[in-house]
Amino acid sequence: MSVHGEIKKVTTHTLQWMKQHGEKISMLTAYDFSMARIFDDAGIDVLLVGDSASNVMAGHETTLPITLDQMIYHAQSVVRAVDRCLIVVDLPFGTYQGNSKEALNSSIRIMKEAGAHAIKLEGGEEVVDSIKRIVGAGVPVMGHLGLTPQSIYKFGTYAVRAKEEEEAETLMVNARLLQDAGCFALVLEKIPAALGQRVAKELKIPVIGIGAGMHVDGQVLVMHDMLGITKDFSPRFLRRYLNLYEDIKGATEHYIKDVKSKDFPNEQEQY
């Protein structure tokens, strides 16, 4: 049986049920009201207000510059649009790494001011205390391992992570630690499919992949990539469902032509 379409509100418990029953979890990023409404109407299970907003909405090279206030603004817009799906919001860089109290305060701001349902943060062992404190306050936490973009200057590259055994073992250890700390789900980004499969098999919580292969419990993509709005980003894991860059550019060129040629507006399009 599939709960897709039958469930009125997706919760962390729904995702757990999906994992147990082999139903894959669908997740996309969203940053604004209009797109979030379409995704929710389409039946998406989870919307992530990702700090990738820093890249695709604000035009920064990395996710590091986006602020907590800016994340809350995006999250508020998404929350206003959604009836059914679970809304998870990224804690941005610099708002949780200091200590667990800072992490809790940032999470509380997201829950109170945006009305989100859960938060996500990046990292393993080093964020365990923070996760325990946030979960202890009643806030569901999603973990994120593998390629963690907030650490891009440490990695030095966006290449696939954990290809070597040592890093793969560390990731395994961290995945267990995050589950034990109380995470309700885990995102794995850009790692070998075999490792994704191993983590998903061992962990009881749902594992959602982006470039982590077919054997994890669900998939997430950045909406601009999935819809083909970004055109210069073509990692192997990306499937484009539309080519909106070309479609929107074409429509804009058409509009410009109609305005210049005085074709728009016509008699029926004026008062």
As annotated, the active-site residues are 189
- Strand blocks (E) in the chain: 25-29, 46-49, 86-90, 118-120, 141-146, 185-189, 207-210, 218-221
Residue 179: half-sphere exposure toward Cβ, Cα within 13 Å: 15
Taking CB under 6 A as the criterion, the residue among 68, 81, 82, 187 binding ligand KIV is: 187
- Give the nearest distance from C-beta 195 to ligand KIV in angstroms: 17
- Give the nearest distance from C-beta 203 to ligand KIV in angstroms: 17
Taking CB under 6 A as the criterion, the residue among 23, 40, 45, 90 binding ligand KIV is: 90
Size of the residue set binding ligand KIV (CB under 6 A): 11
- Interface with ligand KIV, residue 29, by CB under 6 A: yes
Taking CB under 6 A as the criterion, the residue among 23, 40, 45, 51 binding ligand KIV is: 51
First and final C-alpha spacing in the chain? 54
* Nearest-angstrom CA–CA distance, 198 and 175: 11
- Give the nearest distance from C-beta 170 to ligand KIV in angstroms: 20
- Interface with ligand KIV, residue 78, by CB under 6 A: no
Q: What are phi and psi of 88, to 5 degrees?
A: -110, 140
* Alpha carbon 111 to its chain's center: 16
- Interface with ligand KIV, residue 107, by CB under 6 A: no
Q: Which is nearer to ligand KIV, 236 or 260 (CB)?
A: 236
- Axis crossing angle, helix 128-136 with helix 100-109, rounded to the nearest 10: 50
SS3 label, residue 120: strand
- Give the nearest distance from C-beta 124 to ligand KIV in angstroms: 15
Binding site for ligand KIV (CB under 6 A): 29, 48, 50-52, 90, 187, 189, 210, 220, 222
